[in-house]
Each structure stands twice: as structure tokens, then as C-alpha cells.
Amino acid sequence: MEPSIHLAPRAEENGYAVMVAQLLRQGLDERTAKKSTLAKMHGRVTLVVTDLGLTVTMVFDGGRVVVHDGFAGIPDVTVRAPSEWHTKMSLVELEPRLGLPDPRGAVTKEVLEASKRGEIQMHGMWTSLPLVLRMTKILSVA
């Protein structure tokens, strides 16, 4: 099944929702291996940009993604961080074989340190680890 990325009604008014949808579409076009990753994803991920007061929810349903403005249902994973870190998280280095975050990568280290300091808060990570790792992979531009 070909992936489909859509904006929910009114999400086009949220600049970050538009960016996330564009990033997903262009990332999938650029690296087709991401399509099989996306096909395995089910669940809701909410991104809260704390300094800008923006919230975006991605609803994954096996190759189909709907990007919503704000919360949309109860998220499996919530990432709360300032805009600077949301941008940086898309630059996390992935190790080439499995596509998992590379702990040796400079940006990966920075993100881990920011998480330890509480600047990046990720709720639901341990109960939805596969979803988190796949999300990192499909949103990564590194």
C-alpha cells in the first residue's frame, strides 16, 4: 500500500502541522525504505512545542498518517520540548543497519543530554518504544 499523508481539517492553519506533513511526505519520497517502516506504525504521537504554544498530533494507521492541529484523542507518546529541540530531533543520526538512533552521533548525544536535563520530555516512550523508534526513523533527515 502506498503511504498517504493528510492534514486533518483546520490543521493547515498550524504551521508546524504543515511542516510535519511536508517532512513526512518528502522524507518518504527521498528514502523509500521509510515506507516499510511507516506501514508498521500504529498509534498517536503528540508533539508539543512548549515555547511557541503549538501542538501537533500524528495518527499512524499502517501507512496512513493524519496530522492534526492540537491533541487528537489520547496519545500513546507525547514529546514536549522547545522548538529548538524539535528541530534538532529530526537531525538525530541513525546507525545504517537497523536505522536506530546512533548513540555515538553528536546530535543523538545532545538530545539524550537534553532529555536527562528535562528539556525534552517524552511520555509513553517505554510503553510504546517501537512506535518511538520508528517515528525517529521516519522523521529523521540526517
Partner 1 sequence: MSHSFPSEPWTAAFADAVNANEVYRKHGAPWTYGAVAMVCSADPSLGLEEDVGMILDVDRGACRGAKLVKGMDAVMDTPFVIVAPYARWKQVIRGEIDPIKAMMEGKLKMTKGHLPTMLRFVESSRALVTSATAVPTTFLDE
Residues of the shown chain interacting with partner 1 in the complex, contacts defined by CB under 8 A: 13-16, 18-19, 22-23, 26-27, 30, 49, 51-52, 54, 83, 86-87, 90-91, 141-142
Q: How far is the CB of 66 from partner 1 (least distance, A)?
A: 19
Question: Closer to partner 1 at the Cβ: 2 or 30?
Answer: 30
Q: Can you tell me the distance from the alpha carbon of 4 to that of 38, in angstroms, rounded to the nearest whole number? A: 10
**Among the listed residues 29, 43, 136, the one whose alpha carbon sits nearest the alpha carbon of residue 91:** 136
- What's the closest the beta carbon of residue 87 comes to partner 1, in angstroms? 6
Q: Which residues of 98-128 are buried (b: 16+ CB within 10 A; e: fewer)?
A: ebebbeebebbebbeebbeeeebebebbeeb
Other CB atoms within a 10 A radius of the CB of residue 13 amount to: 10
Nearer to partner 1, 4 or 22 (CB): 22
Q: Which is nearer to partner 1, 30 or 126 (CB)?
A: 30
CA angle 138, 41, 134 (to 5 degrees): 35
**Which residue, 22 or 127, has its beta carbon nearer to partner 1?**
22
